[in-house]
Amino acid sequence: MSPFTGSATRTPDWRHLRLTVDEGVATVTLARPDKLNALTFGAYADLRDLLAELSRDKSVRALVLGGEGRGFCSGGDVDEIIGATLGMDTAQLLDFNRMTGQVVRAIRECPFPVIAAVHGVAAGAGAVLALASDFRVADPSARFSFLFTRVGLSGGDMGAAYLLPRVVGLGHATRLLMLGEPVRAPEAERIGLISELTEEGGAVQAAQTLARRLADGPALAYAQTKALLTSELDMPLAASIELDASTQALLMNGEDYAEFHAAFTEKRPPKWQGR
C-alpha cells in the first residue's frame, strides 16, 4: 500500500475496535465480548480502513489482532449482518462481500507482519481473519470453524478457498470448508493452521512477544518477504526467481544490509532502521 496520503487526517478514534500502538507494535482488539466479538458492517469497514491507515504509517512494524473476552471472533453477527443481508438487493450484497474481501486483502498486503492471537472461538469470518494473518498464535482453547456452508453459503468466502489450501493442503481445506466442523487446537497445530500453540491463556502474551521481536528486526526485509510470499503463490518458478533477484538487489542497496556487515565486523548487535 502506498505511503502517500491526501488531505484526510489520521483517524483518532475507532468506533468498532480498540487500537493501541507501543513502540512499533500495533494491537487491534475486537471489543464486543458480549457477542463473542461478532463482526458488524461497521467492524468490517473499520478493519479495512485502519489497515490502510497503518500501512501508510511508517512507525508501525508489527500488528497483533485479538479479541476481548471469551473468544477471538465468532464471525458475522447473525442479526446485524445475516438478518440485514436478507433485505439487500444483488448490488448491495456485492458491495458487502467485496468489503469483507478487502479486509483480507488489507491483511495480506499491509507491509508489516500480522499476528492473530486466538483463544476460544474463531468462527466464520473470524477464522478467515486468523487464516489471512501471517502468524496464528493460539492457546489450547482455540477452535477454528469455517461455518459458511452451514448457513447455506459457499465455503470459499473472503478468499478462504484460496488461502486455506495453501496453509493446510487441499485435502484438509476441502474437509474444513465443505463440512464446517470445528478444528480444535491440537489438530489445528498438527495440520499447520496454528503457527504456535501456547499454554492456556498465553496466546496474547506470546503474540506480543513475537510482535516485539518482529518490530525490533529488519522491517523492510520482513515487508519484502511478506510481499514475495503473497505475490509468488501463483507465479512460475522463473518469474519467482527473477522477482527474488530484483528484490535482493534493492535490499542490498539498503541501510540495513550495510548495518549488518558493520555490526558483524564490530561484534555487536545490528541497529535495524527498516531502510
Going through the chain in order, the beta strands assigned E by DSSP cover 18-22, 25-30, 62-67, 114-118, 121-123, 135-138, 143-145, 183-184, 196-197
Contact 183, 145 (CB under 8 A): yes
CA distance 65 to 129: 9
| Average pLDDT for 244-270 | 93
Res 220 pLDDT > 90: yes
Structure confidence at residue 2 (pLDDT):
62
Map grid coordinates 489520521 to a residue: 10
| Structure letter (DSSP) for residue 62 | E
Read off the C-alpha cell for 211. 510482535
Instruction: Provide the edge-to-edge strand list for the sheet that holds 121-123.
Output: 121-123, 143-145, 183-184
**Pairwise CA distance, residues 38 & 32, whole Å:** 7
How distant, in Å, are the alpha carbons of 66, 113, 143 from that of 213? 18, 11, 26
Site of grid cell 550495510: 258
Q: Is pLDDT of 9 > 80?
A: no
What average pLDDT does range 212-216 have in this prediction?
96
Task: Return phi, psi of residue 190, to 5°.
Answer: -60, -40
Q: pTM of the predicted model, to two decimals?
A: 0.94
Mean pLDDT along residues 156-172: 96
CA distance 74 to 38: 5
Give me the chain's average pLDDT, please.
94
pLDDT class for 4, splitting at 50, 70, 90? low
Reply yes or no on whether the pLDDT at 51 is more than 90: yes
3-class DSSP state for residue 63? strand
In terms of residues, how long is the chain? 275
Query: In angstroms, how far is the first alpha carbon of the chain from the final one?
Result: 17
123 neighbors 151 (Cβ within 8 angstroms): no
